[in-house]
Structure 1
Amino acid sequence: MLGQTVKGFLSGTNRMERLWLLAKIEFKLRYYENKLGLLWALLKPLMDVAIYYVVFKTILKSDLEAFASYLFIGLILWNFFLESTAGTTQILQTKKYLYEYSNMNKLEIYLSALMSNSIGFFFNLAMFIVFFNFVETDVMGLDVLNLWILPIFLNLFILSLALSLILSCIFVVAKDITQIWQVFTAGLFFLSPIFYKLTLFKQALPSFEYVNPIAGIIINARQVMMGKVLPDFELMLFDYGYALFLLLVGFILLNKIGAKAAEKL
């Protein structure tokens, strides 16, 4: 049964073009009725950075160098994770028409939603690169090690897809998962090194970066984008392990529960 989901996804023609089209439409519709339109894709993380900068740099006097960039890269990774999990919890209900009245595979619905979020992520990443390299610091230009952000982001994408599958399938039988996930992610946000100094985070929570895959992803992203050094490969291995294991669980649930989602919702 597990192979049926993947086989059904791979067997279609023009699959990637359709996914890309759906992702672009969803991304544009998200900002369609707003006066500033697509600018909100950039303004949202910038406003978040401004708020946390005032709190931690101005009020709490954080001594972190390039603190605005430190926040920026952490927040755009976190926002992608949050939008791709909390934002898709009810996807089997809200997009029921797509898999009931078309030949779309359910997996395509999830992938198009995450690809839509990916457009926003890479837009914000480009703004971060410009800000960090040419505005905030004296370090000019890019480094080949920055390319490691691609496998790091792939790790985040797989993890977010896996949790999206799991949460949306649980929602079919237990609607409370929406509230539970909100509380869980609120706690996870403060248990991730988004605005803490890394040494302080590791002292307070020894080895917790190996327990919390989001923490590892943020740490490695900062290493390759800001420190311009190789990622921690042991940490990356743990993070990919979590992501792939949860993806397997997600596929199993999609086959067992997702197949009957239209009847139960």
Structure 2
Amino acid sequence: MNFNPSVRFERLWLLAKIEYKLRYYENKLGLFWALLKPITDIFIYYIAFNVVIDQNIPSFVAYLFSGLILWNFFAESTSGTVQLLKTKKFLYEYNNMQKIDIYISTLLANCIGLFFNLCMFFLYFFAIDNGGQNFHAADFSNYIYLIPIFINLFLLSIAFSLVLSSLYVYMHDIHQIWQVLSGLMFILSPVVFKIDDYVKALPSFAELNPMAGILINVRRIILQNSLPDFYLLFLDLGYALFFFMLGFTLLKKIGAKAAEKL
């Protein structure tokens, strides 16, 4: 087994690109679907939560866009990897590939989609949205804090992926259970709701729900041009590290039996 870091990263990046392209290979619109999904989501939620239920949120499209991009990354990364030890069995059983690398390459594929969606968001925000047009060069100093937040999002997503896919080895119903739980988690996150109303109605959920803290901090930095809430930032990093260690432990103990069980 080759542990050369450069060779390992090259292999991970190659697998990520292949994974990303294969998702849309048989679709007539191809990779365009990766960019179209957040746009259709924005249209649906805009009608529901700004036309039907007017929440009086400034720059609501940008507010909604930023939330859906991050939530979709988390949802696709977790739901899409529940059966990973089964669907990618050939990689670790016959190619002597480390199981953790399979998760990393899959999430890197999702990061490609996240990158394109973020480019679309910033293009809209700074070229069309009034909030973005009022920014000046000096206003971007807080953007450096997006780096640890996105690392947090990646780590949290892979952590839940490890936990869910390990449990799937013995409990196939975990896929349906997670669909219900992630739907509940979506409702209990300020994806479409005004943050002030969310905190007022669910004062403790911003601390208990790691995705809520991530969404709040990203919007503080991008939409409000302010520093992140450092308490939530470090709390969410703690959640991500805890679940990652839990998931990694489960992968070593349960994932080792995946080949024979699945």
TM-score normalized with structure 2 length: 0.95
Shift in Å, 1:229:
1.3
Counterpart of 1:245?
242
Distance change in 2, residues 1:196/1:37 (3 Å): same
Q: Gapped runs of 5+ residues in structure 2?
A: none
User: Is the CA contact (8 Å cut-off) linking 1:152 and 1:217 kept in structure 2?
Assistant: yes
**CA distance in 2: counterparts of 1:13 and 1:73, whole angstroms:** 33
Counterpart of 1:5?
none
Counterpart of 1:125?
118
Letter in 2 for 1:24: K
Counterpart of 1:207?
204
Equivalent position to 1:225, from 207, 222, 247: 222
**CA distance in 2: counterparts of 1:180 and 1:167, whole angstroms:** 10
Q: How does 1:100-111 map to 2 (within 5 A)?
A: 100-111=93-104
Q: Give the SS at the match of 1:72.
A: helix
Distance change in 2, residues 1:12/1:70 (3 Å): closer
Aligned: 1:139 with 2:134? yes
**CA distance in 2: counterparts of 1:12 and 1:199, whole angstroms:** 45
Aligned: 1:20 with 2:13? yes
Q: How many residues align?
A: 258
Letter in 1 for 2:144: L
**CA distance in 2: counterparts of 1:13 and 1:198, whole angstroms:** 42
**CA distance in 1: counterparts of 2:61 and 2:54, whole angstroms:** 13
Letter in 1 for 2:194: K
Letter in 2 for 1:86: S
Q: Give the SS at the match of 1:88.
A: coil
Counterpart of 2:159?
162
Q: Which segment is superposed worse, 136-145 or 249-258? A: 136-145
Q: How does 1:1-265 map to 2 (within 5 A)?
A: 14-137=7-130, 138-140=133-135, 143-265=140-262
Shift in Å, 1:122:
1.1
Shift in Å, 1:105:
0.5
Shift in Å, 1:106:
0.5
Shift in Å, 1:67:
0.2
Shift in Å, 1:13:
6.2
Q: Give the SS at the match of 1:228.
A: coil
Shift in Å, 1:207:
2.5
Identity of aligned residues (%): 54
Shift in Å, 1:214:
0.3
Letter in 2 for 1:84: S
Q: Gapped runs of 5+ residues in structure 1?
A: 1-7
User: Is the CA contact (8 Å cut-off) linking 1:134 and 1:141 kept in structure 2?
Assistant: no
Q: Give the SS at the match of 2:31.
A: helix
**CA distance in 1: counterparts of 2:146 and 2:39, whole angstroms:** 20
Distance change in 2, residues 1:9/1:62 (3 Å): farther
Shift in Å, 1:103:
2.1
Aligned residues: CA RMSD: 1.5
TM-score normalized with structure 1 length: 0.94
**CA distance in 1: counterparts of 2:168 and 2:112, whole angstroms:** 26
Letter in 2 for 1:255: K
Letter in 1 for 2:184: G
User: Is the CA contact (8 Å cut-off) linking 1:96 and 1:262 kept in structure 2?
Assistant: yes
Q: Give the SS at the match of 2:191.
A: coil
Shift in Å, 1:62:
2.1
Question: Any idea what the Cα deviations from partners look like across 1:58-104, whole Å, max 9, x if unmatched?
Answer: 11122100000100010010000001101000000000001111021
